[in-house]
Amino acid sequence: MARDQTITALCRWRLPVSVDDAALVVSELVTNAVRTSEPSDQITLHLRWFGIGLVIGVWDSSTEMPTVGMVRPLTLDDITPDARALGDDEDRAGGWGLPLVQAAATAFHVERTHSPIGKWVTALLPTTAIAMREERDGVA
């Protein structure tokens, strides 16, 4: 839902930013918020345009801070024809969300909030030359 709403908003706003990158970042940040929050907790998605790019912010009430682990290349051992063959702790293909966010964003920040208790996770997506050129040339 958050991903679809982001795509719709960005297409309507016609900003010079990669809609695909924004959808990826929103998906990863909201997924992390859902995973660390209680089912009844509120999660807030905030999109704000600055001249240098799009700020994507996700707030949740969890005090668990995100961590970015070491990313290693996937190997054939990471791929299994039967997903049930992997236990929960053996899903070696997981943990790529925040490294993907950091690769797409020019800035990434996490800040605890005290009233209400929780945290904001924000990422800044840069303007794209392709999107700016399309806007200038009137390409839809």
Range 43-56 average pLDDT = 93
The whole-angstrom separation of Cα 32 and Cα 35 is 5
Name the average pLDDT for the chain. 80
Query: Which pLDDT does position 90 carry in this prediction?
Result: 47
Query: Which pLDDT does position 70 carry in this prediction?
Result: 53
Contact by Cβ (8 Å): 127, 53: yes
The whole-angstrom separation of Cα 137 and Cα 54 is 21
Give the CATH number of the domain where residue 76 resides: 3.30.565.10
Containing structural domain, residue 28: 2-137
Half-sphere exposure of 28 (CA within 13 A, CB side): 25
Widest distance between CA atoms in the chain? 52
pLDDT tens column, 103-131: 889 999 999 999 889 999 999 999 886 55
pLDDT tens column, 67-82: 765 555 656 555 555 5
Domain count, the chain: 1
